[in-house]
């Protein structure tokens, strides 16, 4: 029987070959596919997020872990067609209007997907109107807003005001982030939470949903 903590470490190490091997062995042993995901793959991505936030890991380490997890999910896919991949919640994320930067936002989206969230990434330069439309249509649990420029930070507040005007604010948690953004600014515009980077976004989003 495969020890799922070993699978978790393989993800943490970004070892694609070992991750695939252990995933296949766990399936052969009769391990529940959802346990493989939650206790093996997602646990590993959580550890990667912590190391990324602490500065021990960098972007290449995160990408290697994400690729390893993707390869493992491809093996699990046939077993999950009926039950589906367990999700912690739905997140809509994007970089606000006027800002074309998306590297940080992409990192956050990757970490959230790897940790069990369903993520819809709207890209960059997203208008307040589109954010509102997506929240109305998708009904996400969390809306993530990113800004890398001080000149585009006010757009975050505009999105929150637009959600309020549309009567949608109470139904979604708003998390903000980006290089110039701070907890004080998040409080000022009425956001529910702030995350400094992708690794921090995992526990913050889980906390918003009480998980």
Angle at 72 between CA 69 and CA 78, to 5 degrees: 135
pLDDT range class, residue 198, cuts 50, 70, 90: confident
DSSP SS3 for 195: coil
Q: Name the nearest CA neighbour of 50 among 181, 205, 198.
A: 198
Cα(31)–Cα(24) distance, rounded to whole angstroms? 10
Q: Taking the model in full, what pTM does it have?
A: 0.83
pLDDT digits (tens, 9 = 90+) for 133-159: 999 999 999 999 999 999 999 999 999
* CB contact set of 97 (below 8 Å; sequence gap of 6+): 125, 126, 127, 128, 152, 155, 158
CB-based burial label for 165 (10 Å; 0-12, 13-18, 19+): exposed
Q: Spell out the domains of the chain, with CATH numbers in brackets.
A: 4-80 (1.10.1240.10), 89-208 (3.40.50.280)
pLDDT digits (tens, 9 = 90+) for 8-50: 999 999 999 999 999 999 999 999 888 998 899 989 998 998 8
Please give the full DSSP string across 86-127, using - where no structure is assigned: --SEEEEEEEBTT----HHHHHHHHHHHHTTEEEEE--SSB-
Q: How far is CA 156 from CA 14, 134, 146, 210, in A?
A: 34, 15, 8, 24
Better-predicted residue by pLDDT, 110 or 99: 99
Which one-letter DSSP state was computed for residue 192? S
CA atoms within 13 A on the CB side of 74: 10
Outline where the chain has alpha helix (H).
4-13, 16-28, 33-35, 42-54, 59-80, 103-114, 128-138, 154-165, 183-189, 198-208
Q: Are 147 and 96 in contact (CB under 8 A)?
A: yes
pLDDT digits (tens, 9 = 90+) for 175-195: 999 999 999 999 999 999 999
pLDDT range class, residue 84, cuts 50, 70, 90: low
């Amino acid at each position: 029987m495969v020890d799922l903590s070993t699978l978790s470490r393989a993800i943490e190490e970004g070892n694609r070959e070992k991750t695939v091997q252990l995933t296949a062995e766990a399936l052969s042993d009769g391990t529940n596919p959802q346990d493989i995901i939650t206790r093996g793959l997602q646990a590993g991505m959580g550890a990667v997020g912590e190391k990324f936030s602490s500065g021990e890991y960098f972007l290449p380490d995160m990408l290697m872990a994400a690729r390893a997890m993707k390869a493992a999910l491809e093996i699990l896919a046939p077993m999950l067609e009926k039950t589906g991949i367990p999700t912690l919640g739905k997140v809509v994320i994007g970089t606000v209007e006027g800002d074309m930067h998306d590297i940080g936002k992409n990192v956050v989206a990757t970490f959230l997907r790897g940790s069990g969230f369903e993520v819809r990434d709207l890209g960059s330069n997203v208008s307040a109107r589109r954010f509102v439309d997506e929240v109305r249509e998708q009904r996400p649990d969390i809306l993530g807003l990113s800004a890398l420029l001080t000149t585009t930070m006010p757009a975050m507040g505009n999105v929150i005001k637009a959600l309020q005007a549309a009567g949608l604010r109470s139904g979604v948690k708003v998390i903000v982030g980006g290089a110039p953004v701070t907890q004080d600014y998040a409080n000022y515009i009425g956001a529910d939470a702030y995350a400094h980077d992708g690794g921090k976004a995992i526990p913050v989003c889980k906390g918003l949903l009480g998980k």
